[in-house]
Amino acid sequence: MSREVENRATRTVENQARAVALTNLRRQLRVADFAAPVSPARRAALDNLFRKSVIVPGVVGGGLVSPDGTITYSARHIRIGAKVQHPRILAAVLAGTVTRRVTNVPTWRGQKNVKVLQILAPVRERLSGKPIGVISLDQDYGVVSVGAGDAHIRLAVILAIALLALFVTLLPIMNRLTRQLEARNARLRELADERGTLLEGERAARAEAESVQRLLAEQNERLRELDRLKDEFVSLVSHELRTPLTAIRGYIELLLEDLDPSEGSRRRYLEIVDRNSHRLLDLVNDLLFLAQVEAGKLAIERKPIDLGKVVEECIETSSPAADSLGIQLTAHLGRVPKLEGDRARLAQMLDNLVSNALKFTPEGGRVDVRLDARDGAAVLEVEDTGLGIPADEQGQLFERFFRSSNATQSAIPGSGLGLTITKAIVERHGGRIEVESTEGAGTTVRVSLPLGVVREAETPARELAA
């Protein structure tokens, strides 16, 4: 900006000097003034013209130069008759170019080495337009510097005022922005502290969770090991108990056969022992069965079987017990193709369901066994009019050793293994078992078994009643 101001001031001074040189001075010059060094009389007139009549401020020198480069007049008389030092510049001016240059020259007032702005303008003959010489006008460069300096001062003042106004205007905004930034920085520091606290808590929680997970894994492994040892123990104990129980029952049967009819009380005692040993042997067999299921060693011999005949045999076997309890036991058998399965296991499953229904049905009640084919499966239902099962206990029916509250309150005997064994047998045959029960109204157990590929003679439709 300073350079721009200085250039503008220089151009202004240059234009003024050029105007004076081309108008005022040239009108008062003669052609003879450029032909040869002027006479003393003409030199006095030119001194008056260059030193006093030039109205451009700061002129400290000037002169006339002939086309061949001879100084015909100079405000410093000592230079009259000398040759110019820059003939190329002279040639350019004679060609019509007004030239300016900055140089250091002594002045006619006796000042030495003064920095000047030298203006060189061509002078042409009025009629022919032929260049007859050059006018030189030396202007003190201090005039330009003073102008630029004034401009600098004004510019500095303007800039200072503008900056002050800008500062006054922006100060409230900057203060508000500063406060907002400080508040945000404080909030960010708080968030960073909170995040650090959360990260510490997260690391601590993760470490604790990993510790708990390791502990749980160790406990689970220990529980699996204990469960395995328990299964082995149950299997071992059950196996060891079955042998002596079988011997005990055999000797009790021999005693009952050899017992004299007159010994009624002794027979009654032996029958009690026989009955309880039978129950104990059933419990041992159930435990062995569950041990085989847990170990994945339950063997299923799949053969084509007529499930209707299995139901008939179960009804025939259970009818005496139903009659003694005053319960009506009925079977409804539809047409069911043969299926592939283990006859003994399916008979055991059905015996468990029917015996459960008889145990939980009071005198005068009814137990219905239904068999039918639906959607490619044999559907077996055992429905009773017994005590029913509370709704909140139905989800636990197939757990080992579980007995409903109704069974406990009514002192109905049982080990709580029957339904567990039944479910294992059904699932081993690829089927499913469901229970629907209403407390005080009865229970329906529904078993669905997929029909096998063997389709021989179908079971004829028939109905059996106890």
pLDDT tens figures, 305-334: 888 898 898 888 888 888 888 999 998 988
Token pair of 175 as six digits: 């203060």
Given this model, what pLDDT does residue 119 score? Answer: 82
More confident residue, 50 or 292: 50
Given this model, what pLDDT does residue 381 score? Answer: 92
pLDDT exceeds cutoff 50 at 459? no
For domain 303-465, say whether CATH 3.40.50.720 is its number: no
More confident residue, 398 or 65: 65
Do the beta carbons of residue 141 and residue 115 sit within 8 Å?
yes
CA-based angle 56:19:79, to the nearest 5?
65
Q: Which residue has the tokens 């017992």?
A: 259
- Per residue, the 3-state secondary structure of the chain, as one string, reads CHHHHHHHHHHHHHHHHHHHHHHHHHHCCCHHHHCCCCCHHHHHHHHHHHHHHCCCCCEEEEEEECCCCEEEEECCHHHCCCECCCHHHHHHHHCCCCEEEEEEECCCCCCCCEEEEEEEEEEECCCCCCEEEEEEEEEEHHHHHHHHHHHHHHHHHHHHHHHHHHHHHHHHHHHHHHHHHHHHHHHHHHHHHHHHHHHHHHHHHHHHHHHHHHHHHHHHHHHHHHHHHHHHHHHHHHHHHHHHHHHHHHHHHHHHHHCCCCCHHHHHHHHHHHHHHHHHHHHHHHHHHHHHHHCCCCCCCCEEECHHHHHHHHHHHHHHHHHHHCCEEEEEECCCCCEEECHHHHHHHHHHHHHHHHHCCCCCCEEEEEEEEECCEEEEEEEECCCCCCHHHHHHCCCCCCCCHHHHHCCCCCCCCHHHHHHHHHHHCCCEEEEEEECCCEEEEEEEEECCCCCCCCCCCEEEEC
Given this model, what pLDDT does residue 413 score? Answer: 61
The residues, any chain, with a CB within 8 Å of residue 292's CB and separated by 6 or more, are 235, 298, 299
Domain boundaries, the chain: 2-147, 303-465
% of the chain surpassing 90 pLDDT? 4
The residues, any chain, with a CB within 8 Å of residue 363's CB and separated by 6 or more, are 325, 326, 327
Do the beta carbons of residue 80 and residue 72 sit within 8 Å?
yes
Report domain 2-147's class: alpha beta
Given this model, what pLDDT does residue 144 score? Answer: 60
CA-based angle 216:221:223, to the nearest 5?
90
The stretch 335-354 carries a mean pLDDT of: 87
Do the beta carbons of residue 420 and residue 435 sit within 8 Å?
no
Q: Is the dihedral of CA 421, 425, 430, 432 positive or negative?
A: negative
Which band of pLDDT confidence, cut at 50, 70 and 90, is reported for residue 116?
confident
Which band of pLDDT confidence, cut at 50, 70 and 90, is reported for residue 383?
very high
pLDDT exceeds cutoff 70 at 286? no
Determine how many CB atoms are found less than 10 A away from the CB of residue 361: 23
pLDDT tens figures, 46-72: 888 777 766 566 777 888 889 898 988
Given this model, what pLDDT does residue 177 score? Answer: 87
pLDDT tens figures, 407-448: 666 656 666 677 888 888 888 888 988 888 888 888 898 999
pLDDT exceeds cutoff 60 at 456? no
Given this model, what pLDDT does residue 362 score? Answer: 87
pLDDT exceeds cutoff 80 at 240? no
Given this model, what pLDDT does residue 368 score? Answer: 92
Do the beta carbons of residue 274 and residue 252 sit within 8 Å?
yes
pLDDT exceeds cutoff 80 at 12? no
Do the beta carbons of residue 371 and residue 308 sit within 8 Å?
yes
pLDDT tens figures, 261-274: 667 777 777 777 77
Given this model, what pLDDT does residue 303 score? Answer: 86
pLDDT tens figures, 206-238: 888 888 888 888 888 888 776 666 666 555 555
% of the chain surpassing 70 pLDDT? 74
pLDDT tens figures, 132-185: 888 888 877 776 655 545 556 776 788 888 888 888 888 888 888 888 989 999
